[in-house]
A and B are shown apart, each in its own frame.
Chain A
Amino acid sequence: MNPDNASGPAADIASEAQTLSERLSDLAAQAAQLAESGGHAGGGSDFMFLLTVFVLSCFIGYYVVWSVTPALHSPLMAVTNAISSVIVVGALIASGPADFSQSAVFGFFAVVLASINIFGGFIVTQRMLGMFKKKS
């Protein structure tokens, strides 16, 4: 193919591509705006959803914990301590971005601390529970 002949259509295509990309970025901006406002509008109901989960979980916690035998209150504290380290989920997301940032550093240390708790908490609970034996 002759490069001279091709340069004309190529320029056409390029300019067309440019207008297309401009329109696309416009659309993208609009979509982002929509998503933003949608997110805001949905923000209320999202919060209500989370609040529902929270309140119902408090009730579950109430009934489940009252059924725990007093003899096992120490293991209960140890295991609740271990599971409250599920906060590691937030820490993992914080250390998610590959590039170095303040956020990632905070995340890194949060993962270390939460891991101490997870391993330590579950192991010490298992040790305690292992000692509880019935009359042989």
Chain B
Amino acid sequence: MSGGFSAFAYLVASVCFIMALRGLSSPTTARRGNLFGIAAMTIAVFTTLTLPAITGLSLLWIIIAVGIGGTIGTLVALRIVMTALPQLIAAFHSLVGLAAVLVAAAAFYAPEAFGIGTVGHIHAGSVIEMSLGVAIGAITFTGSIIAFAKLQGLVSGKPLIFSGQHMLNLALGILLLVLIIVLMVAQSPVIFWAIIVLSLALGFLIILPIGGADMPVVVSMLNSYSGWAAAGIGFTLANPVLIVVGALVGSSGAILSYIMCKAMNRSFFSVILGGFGGEVAGPAGGADMGDKTIKQGAAADAAFIMDQASSVIIVPGYGMAVAQAQHVLREMVDLLKEKGVEVRYAIHPVAGRMPGHMNVLLAEAAVPYDEVLELDEINRDFSATDVAFVIGANDITNPAAKTDKSSPIYGMPILNVEDAGTVLFIKRSLASGYAGVDNELFYRDNTMMLLDDAKKMCENIVKALEQS
């Protein structure tokens, strides 16, 4: 990595990478930021191609490889529907992980090309860096595949738990560290591959017990891991641009994980240890459900109530994404606006399956981003609002988070929909939310339940509004 020119070019690339993230501070500068990112990547790649290690023949292979990968990536990115975004991101993370493993393997078999020693005599420091890169990469790879399978519905979103799980993971983790130390001394390919296999198993086991609605944390965490893997490889190659980007991505993912955990009032470790949701949780509610009554309404009732309102706040959740209801929701809102109703959207940080999931779906439905507000920005306004329209969300509105200390979601910041004049709840059934907690809001006098598929219900409301 010698040579003033390449070092300078890598510096320029690093700065551009930072600018790419900086651009995301506002939707107006974000697209320019993305162009910075593309420029940075282009600079980094072309600078690497000018290095003496790259010769004519290999250049041909590189062009073929980029051609294959670029075509696949482009086609996938252009065709993906926005509701499938979380699984796409998970799939992409797995590729970064696997790429890190492959690069580390390449470095292990041909250390000369990377200037880190000779076969069987790689510098001890490089071995550690390489092993860490390969281990994190492999964990990212299998972990992301499980996350993908859960998000895609290939594997049940319910947490899969078996006894002794944490002990097994701990034992595997310790074994992994031991193997890394052994590899420093005896640089045999067997141990190298053992580290890879062990890390692959670990990634699988770590993500498997984590439930579907914890996926925002998992996806952010894997995002973080892919960064640390890149940084590890960057140390091995003594390449600053890899280290800079790895650190940026690593801290980005870590911050997102932190934000998500905070929005659920759960510690990072409790998420990672998994087992939340499903059957285990749910001591509250249940028993006294029988004697409570709900007020069920039809689309026409909802249309009438909103028509009469002067302000409406819409609270979308994962159910909206599943039903693909965002477009018809926007139609409904357009009709309400024509009738002079003020409509805004309130987004909880963990609504959906990845950070910012709802914002993207609403943007896809051409909802202007200045009508879409975050929890802190809008929570105070519910008390002055006529109607809260909850579509496909549940736990993030549950007042038990504020009042019931025994509830598993106690302490989680919620959207104060109960303060609104009327709460309209679109749900497919009265089933409890992901956390397994009954929502007392359903039984309140000012709540009307609209029991149907989110998209169908919105369509019916639109029809009713058009007729009125």
Contacts and interface: CB of A to CB of B under 8 A. Distances in A.
B27 A69 contact: yes
Contacts, number: 384
A113 B95 contact: yes
Given A91-B102, A94-B107, A68 B66 contact: no
Given A87-B233, A121-B73, A129-B30, A80 B227 contact: yes
Contacts of B219: 77
Nearest to A120: B73
Interface string B218-254: 0110010011011101111111111111111111110
A72 B233 contact: no
Interface size class of A (residues with CB under 8 A): 35 or more
Interface string B47-83: 0110101111110011001101111111011101010
A112 B69 contact: yes
B65 A112 contact: yes
Contacts of B51: 93, 96
A109 B127 CA distance: 22
Which among B24, B113, B259, B354 has the greatest number of chain A C-beta atoms within 10 A? B24
A60 B123 CA distance: 30
B20 A50 contact: no
A49 B38 CA distance: 27
Interface in B1-60: 13-14, 17-18, 20-22, 24-28, 30-31, 33-34, 37-38, 40-41, 44-45, 48-49, 51, 53-58
Decide if the interface of chain B is mainly helix, strand, loop or mixed: helix
Given A97-B58, A106-B103, A128-B363, A78 B45 contact: no
A43 interface: yes
B355 A77 contact: yes
Interface in A111-136: 111-136
A35 B56 CA distance: 28
Contacts of A95: 58, 61-62, 65, 106
A134 B28 CA distance: 9
B369 interface: yes
Which among B20, B92, B125, B234 has the greatest number of chain A C-beta atoms within 10 A? B92
Contact of A89 (B58, B74, B98, B242): B242
Decide if the interface of chain A is mainly helix, strand, loop or mixed: helix
A70 interface: yes
A66 B110 contact: no
Contact of A92 (B45, B82, B96, B220): B45
Contacts of B38: 122
Contacts of B71: 119
A115 B256 contact: no
Given A76-B252, A94-B106, A86 B44 contact: yes
A50 B102 contact: no
Nearest to B74: A119
Given A65-B255, A94-B110, A129-B31, A117 B223 contact: no
A113 B20 CA distance: 22
A72 to B, nearest CB: 5
B427 interface: no
B414 interface: no
A76 B68 CA distance: 26
B66 to A, nearest CB: 5
Given A85-B99, A86-B17, A123-B78, A114 B372 contact: no
Nearest to B220: A77
A53 to B, nearest CB: 5
Nearest to B27: A132
B230 to A, nearest CB: 5
B394 interface: no
Given A77-B256, A108-B65, A119-B70, A71 B359 contact: yes
B22 A67 contact: yes
B374 interface: yes
A54 B240 CA distance: 8
A132 B363 CA distance: 5
Given A93-B48, A118-B73, A128-B363, A87 B103 contact: yes
Nearest first, the 5 A-B pairs at minimum CB distance are: A115-B69, A73-B356, A120-B73, A103-B110, A94-B106
Given A57-B246, A88-B45, 15 more contacts: A53-B243, A57-B247, A58-B251, A61-B21, A65-B256, A69-B24, A78-B85, A79-B37, A83-B37, A84-B226, A90-B236, A96-B54, A97-B113, A103-B105, A110-B106
Interface of A: 40, 43, 46-47, 50, 53-55, 57-58, 60-62, 64-98, 101-104, 106-136
Interface of B: 13-14, 17-18, 20-22, 24-28, 30-31, 33-34, 37-38, 40-41, 44-45, 48-49, 51, 53-58, 61-62, 65-66, 68-74, 76-78, 80, 82, 85, 88-89, 92-93, 95-96, 98-100, 102-103, 105-107, 109-110, 113-114, 123, 125, 219-220, 223, 226-227, 229-231, 233-253, 255-256, 259, 347, 349, 354-357, 359-360, 363-364, 366, 368-372, 374
9 contacts: A50-B235, A74-B354, A79-B37, A86-B40, A88-B99, A104-B110, A119-B70, A127-B77, A133-B368
